[in-house]
A and B are shown apart, each in its own frame.
Chain A
Amino acid sequence: MALIDTRDLYKIYQVGDVEVKALNGVSVAIEPGEFVAVMGPSGSGKSTFMNILGCLDKPTRGKYILDGIDVTATDLSKLAGVRNHKIGFVFQGFNLIKRTTAIENVELPMIYNHTPAAQRRKKALEALEAVGLAQRAYHLPNQLSGGQQQRVAIARSLVCDAPIIFADEPTGNLDTKMSIEVMDLFTRLNKEMGKTIILITHEPDIAQYATRLIKFKDGQKMSDQRQTPTGAKLSATEEEEHA
């Protein structure tokens, strides 16, 4: 059974008298362990699609089954728990809470599922270790570089053992070197931990890290094809060039 299964998703906004179809009948099935890149120009509906997949929004019509849960039949207010258990989010702007330390940021999702304090700390440290930032656990976000902040955000997406990571332009605010760092990390999480990763990007280089590429245009899926990730190679060549 597919981990993510959408059938004929429509999202229609009423702007004055005009109906705007942000999504116009999208059906996608994603299996566990896939690394999917979603591309498309702005206004193509990819963000709307991602919001629905991330249980942050609901479609106007259509069906969305996430890991056996019929999201479209679930009340929006009850989706908080689904997000907590099934999905880890990584955003373009990192979205860390500024006045709390890295480890407290990573602990945050566990506060909302009532994990005991001692276990919270332990799991948060493990997650930070997995992204290579254990020694920065007690730094505030503004004491970390952009790449490090994004890695903290990734650690935060891991702590609840959610099977899926949604990454919305995760490298958008990062320079090339940091982007490579972050994308390598995603690749590792995908390969070693079996995380299903869904990545929105408009940079073809970044999309190259994925094993499957879905392109959107005008609210519809334009193409959907599997690919051999070449991102790792790219980064290797770039490193050689730098050297």
Chain B
Amino acid sequence: MLDSFLAVFKISLKAIFANKMRAALTSLGIIIGVAAVIVVLAVGTGTKKSLADRFSNMGTNIIFLRQPWDLDSSISSPKDVTMDDVRAIREVKGVAAAAPYIQSSFSVKYKNTSVSLSALATDTDILKAYDWSVEKGRSFTEKEVSDYAQVMIIGATSAQTIFGDVDPLDKTVVLNNIPFTVVGVTKKTGSSGFGFNIDEGVLIPYTTAKVKLNTGGWNNSNRNALDRVVIKAEDFNAIENTKVDIQNAVRNTHHIHPLGKDDFQLDDMASFVEQAKSTGTMMSLFLGIIGAVSLVVGGIGVMNIMLVSVTERTREIGIRMAIGATSWNIRLQFLVESMTLSCMGGLIGIIIGIVATQLLVKYMPSLSAQLSISSIIISAGFSAATGIFFGYYPAYKASKLTPIDALRYE
């Protein structure tokens, strides 16, 4: 039985190699389709993974409160997000921390060194919200925050850049012509996610920033306005409820009529992650469909050639039937032939896909393409399925010939 199957396989191979050019052109559609599917899935997988990595660094319990960038024009007098909101939110059940957040870039001078840094104006709750910890020295005191003290907590990498081997504690650095005393250094987080990177930044009290550093992102007509509020929920699983409670609290401080629209927006990481993931999935799906379409087109090419081949070899089919081939034998032969065509195409396509992905990894690292075994298995399966699906009809047609008609065919 196996012997006979091998023999049929050999017959099919021979038939294919008798027409090399034709076989190559037929397989081309499958080759392109499979290679496209592999590259596309590699890019999709890589993008999704890098997004997930970046978000997981940021903590998924985080909720941002801010004024929407595309504020509804029907809201006549939108209120800024202020410390009143922060204080109200701190009272909400399920909120672990809430910190003001205003970010700006500055050049920080120490002796002859001048470095451009990201400065975050906030208060001590930011440490709780982001799980940052002060490794050396201390955090701000409440009094320092309320007294507009010129104090600074510095990130680990910033400390290294500005001070080198010198101990930064109690040193004075100049930020926008105002001297600040370094009171603490944070522990290195190693994060490179979105938003504020504490390792390469500094923290100062928001009060000091608003009153004394009236420039950059802190130069706002409303002295109390904040960029946003960073909120940490206690329980990720209850984050939706917590969000509703926060919403009610903020509506209250903003004196919004029960039927009025929110003049603020709450974003949590979970929805960011979901959104990013679903965007990634949509993209993969869309590109995958393009790949699938080219596979189908390739499959139609295979079917076309197989139909031609059946017609061309009608007489051969008649001979085989006369000497004892059953309809099933004939069907198997043509199915094996179309499967071989599409699987060879698939194999070449996989090789091209892998090589192309490696080239992308090497020359376009920003795409963060990542070859996945599943994409290879899927496309191998797809090409075999294409062979069966589009080879079936021609094979069926061949097997339905009667020996006399087939033998009579000229």
Contacts and interface: CB of A to CB of B under 8 A. Distances in A.
Given A56-B322, A81-B326, A108-B323, A99 B18 contact: yes
Contact of B1 (A56, A57, A108, A114): A114
B14 interface: yes
A97 B319 contact: yes
B136 interface: no
A75 to B, nearest CB: 11
Contacts of A111: 4, 7-8, 11
Interface string B1-35: 10110111001001100100000000000000000
Contacts of B18: 99
Contact of B329 (A54, A56, A97, A112): A112
Interface string A99-112: 11000000111011
Interface stretch (A30-38, A83-91, A184-192, A228-236): A83-91
B321 interface: yes
Contacts of B404: 51, 56-57
A95 B315 contact: yes
B330 to A, nearest CB: 10
Nearest to A93: B315
B327 A156 contact: no
Contacts of B4: 111-112, 114
A116 interface: yes
Contact of B14 (A91, A99, A160): A99
B316 interface: yes
Nearest to B321: A80
A143 interface: no
A112 to B, nearest CB: 4
Contacts of B155: none
Interface in B297-337: 315-316, 318-327, 329
From B7, B315, B321, B407, residue with most partner A Cβ within 10 Å: B7
Given A95-B319, A99-B15, A112-B329, A81 B6 contact: no
Contacts of A84: 323-324
B280 interface: no
Nearest to B404: A56
A77 interface: yes
Contact of A117 (B3, B8, B14, B326): B3
Contact of A81 (B11, B316, B324): B324
Contacts of B1: 114
A90 B407 CA distance: 12
Given A56-B404, A114-B4, A83 B322 contact: yes
A108 B3 CA distance: 12
A145 interface: no
Interface string A55-98: 01100000000000000000011001101110011010001110
A55 to B, nearest CB: 9
A23 B18 CA distance: 42
A76 B326 CA distance: 10
A109 B1 CA distance: 14
B325 A116 contact: no
A83 B1 CA distance: 19
B168 interface: no
**What are the 6 tightest A-B residue pairs by CB atom distance, in nearest-first order?**
A84-B324, A112-B324, A80-B326, A109-B323, A111-B7, A95-B319
Interface of B: 1, 3-4, 6-8, 11, 14-15, 18, 315-316, 318-327, 329, 402-404, 407
Given A57-B404, A112-B4, 17 more contacts: A56-B403, A56-B407, A57-B402, A77-B326, A80-B321, A80-B327, A89-B322, A95-B322, A107-B7, A108-B323, A109-B323, A109-B324, A111-B4, A111-B7, A114-B3, A116-B3, A120-B3
